[in-house]
Amino acid sequence: MRPLTIESCHSIWLFDTEHMSFLRVLKGFDGPEHLAVTGWRRYYGLEMSADSESFVVELNPEGTRLLRSWRHTEDCAQCGGHVTSELSVEEIQSLARISSP
């Protein structure tokens, strides 16, 4: 399974849509050996806005606990930056295996 990957200004989000779980790789650390990665967490919905770069992750079935973020873009309006991080497909697959749901 190849996870759905979304890059925000501060994280790279990996979504396992089959198991409805996600993890985040925090940006700003020195190389792959120093990555800060959250554990896999369950989610109940993922809404991506059609008219903006925002997305919302529903953390409970009722939709009352939410995480909202924005996709990072070139000349990003959210962070004003041009910086992006890059992970290879192999690195993403390795992260997805860290603690598979």
Calculate ∠ Cα 84-19-7, nearest 5°. 10
DSSP state of 20: T
DSSP 89-100: HHHHHHHHHHT-
Structural domains of the chain, count: 1
Range of the domain at 26: 4-98
* pLDDT per residue of the chain (101 residues) written in tens, 0 to 9: 788 999 888 888 999 999 999 999 887 765 556 667 888 999 999 999 888 888 999 999 999 999 999 888 777 666 766 555 555 666 666 665 654 55
Question: What would the two tokens of residue 50 be?
Answer: 């059609």
pTM: 0.71
- Name the 3-class secondary structure at 52: coil
